[in-house]
């Protein structure tokens, strides 16, 4: 099997991830670089197999700015929020169910969305932001991730039972 050295790299995961490692060469004689962060299926992971949300937030901000660049303040708040829900949130939340996120990561994701809302509604008052979120039915990423996890857990148990692959705890 040939390895594409332009798309391949090495990463050491675990408690000794900061130790110096020997170079690994391909059969063509090219050395593979050692990196601190790796991209796999669109998500970024650190040396401690922890999801990095920085790239997701950068992409989210880029997509928000693209929407503001096209529609500006001409469109209504409902239209802009709908565009953000359908176009920008999938970019921000892509693949995050696969990683155990800590509170700092979820707060960081929430902060990115809260800053967008502050910019959109031209206020820094959190009471106003929360009122707007309530009236426009706009959830924060932490709330969406909890909702997705509950839906996935419910769906996986019901699908397994209905199609008869295995018996779940409820059916036994």
- pLDDT at position 171, please? 43
pTM value > 0.95: no
By the 10 Å C-beta count (0-12 exposed, 13-18 middle, 19+ buried), 141 is classed as: buried
Distance (Å, whole) CA 155 – CA 77: 33
Distance (Å, whole) CA 120 – CA 56: 20
- 140 pLDDT more than 60: yes
Residue ranges of domains in the chain? 54-144
**pLDDT 10s digits, 155-167:** 555 444 444 444 4
Q: Which residues contact 129 (CB under 8 A, 6 or more apart)?
A: 114, 117, 118, 121, 123
Q: What number is the average pLDDT over the span 84-110?
A: 86
Highest mean pLDDT among 69-73, 132-136, 157-161: 132-136
Helix residue ranges, H only, the chain: 54-71, 77-83, 89-93, 103-121, 126-135, 141-163
The Cβ of residue 31 has, within 10 Å, a number of other Cβ atoms equal to 11
**pLDDT 10s digits, 5-57:** 777 777 777 777 677 777 778 877 888 878 777 766 555 655 555 667 888 89
- pLDDT at position 51, please? 64
């Amino acid at each position: 099997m040939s390895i594409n050295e332009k798309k391949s790299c090495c990463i050491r995961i675990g408690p000794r991830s900061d130790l110096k490692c020997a170079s690994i060469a391909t059969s063509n004689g090219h050395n593979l670089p050692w990196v601190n962060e790796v991209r796999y299926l669109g998500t970024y992971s650190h040396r401690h197999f922890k999801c990095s949300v920085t790239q997701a937030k950068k992409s989210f901000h880029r997509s928000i700015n693209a929407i503001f660049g096209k529609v500006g303040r001409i469109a209504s708040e409902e239209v802009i929020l709908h565009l953000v829900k359908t176009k920008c949130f999938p970019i921000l939340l892509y693949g995050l169910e696969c990683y155990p996120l800590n509170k700092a990561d979820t707060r960081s994701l929430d902060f990115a969305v809260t800053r967008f809302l502050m910019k959109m509604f031209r206020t820094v008052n959190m009471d106003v932001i929360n009122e707007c979120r309530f009236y426009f039915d706009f959830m924060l990423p932490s709330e969406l991730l909890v909702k997705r996890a509950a839906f996935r857990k419910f769906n996986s148990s019901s699908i397994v039972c209905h199609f008869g692959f295995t018996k779940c705890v409820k059916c036994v």
